[in-house]
Amino acid sequence: MMDLQRLAERIDWSFGNPELLRQAVTHRSAAGPNNERLEFLGDAILNFVIASEIFQRRPDLREGELSRLRAALVNKNALAGIARDIALGPHIVLGSGELKTGGRRRDSILADALEALIGAVYLDGGFSAGEALILRLYEGHLAELPDMEALKDAKTRLQEYLQARHLALPHYALEETHGRAHEQTFRVTCQCEALAPVGEGVAANRRQAEQAAAEDLLAQLQADEPMDSGDKRP
């Protein structure tokens, strides 16, 4: 494990109780107090602060749209990305099993540790300290909030595309599954009746593979659309 003082400096917080920081970076697979309770607390604070920020920044959005935007900002992938930005992974304490399987690079472990870190700062310095940390971590994300169309997943966008053209909804088929139970790869195809193109997606779970297949099919359909008369492409 790397020097925790360097991590504290990167997040711009000096811990009055350094034990909170040590606990925040300790995964449940390791011996001693772990970060599960801090993760629970940090998750709640993060959701509130991000909800408050987007509520103020996007007065044009309805409740459902605000919920979708918040989910995009606080999901596992977004949190893991921020954790990598502050080089959190090398500081995480893991049991031997997780170490051997590359746990410090796993999105779920990185995301949980980041939420635990937020919870630790909150306990150490109060709500204002936790809020300030979140706003620092999310500064770039909040400055460039995505539009709502970009937040729709590929299956939703494909369905809307087909419905707008009065076409049948797509069919997803699981074609192959490879690998051991905990390291499987799924290959899924996506096709719409009466249309020739077939989308294909490969991912670590079936849901993600279906999304990838929908994205592939949508890209093919949009590429095959006739150009507008005003389109000057050769």
Sheet holding 198-203, edge to edge: 171-178, 185-191, 198-203
The helix (run of H) or strand (run of E) holding residue 60 is none
85 tagged catalytic: no
Copy the structure tokens of residue 34: 């772990």
Q: Which of 43, 124, 131, 215 is catalytic?
A: 43
Distance CA 120, CA 23 (A): 8
- What is the rounded distance in angstroms from the CA atom of residue 48 to the CA atom of residue 200? 38
Residue 115 bears catalytic tag: yes
112 appears as a binding residue in the annotation: yes
- Nearest CA to 174 out of 210, 128, 121 is that of 210
Q: Which of 53, 98, 115, 210 is catalytic?
A: 115
Q: What are phi and psi of 60, to 5 degrees?
A: -85, -15
13 phi, psi to nearest 5 deg: -145, 130
Catalytic residues: 43, 115
Q: Which residues are annotated as a binding site for Mg(2+)?
A: 39, 112, 115
Q: Which residues are annotated as a binding site?
A: 39, 112, 115
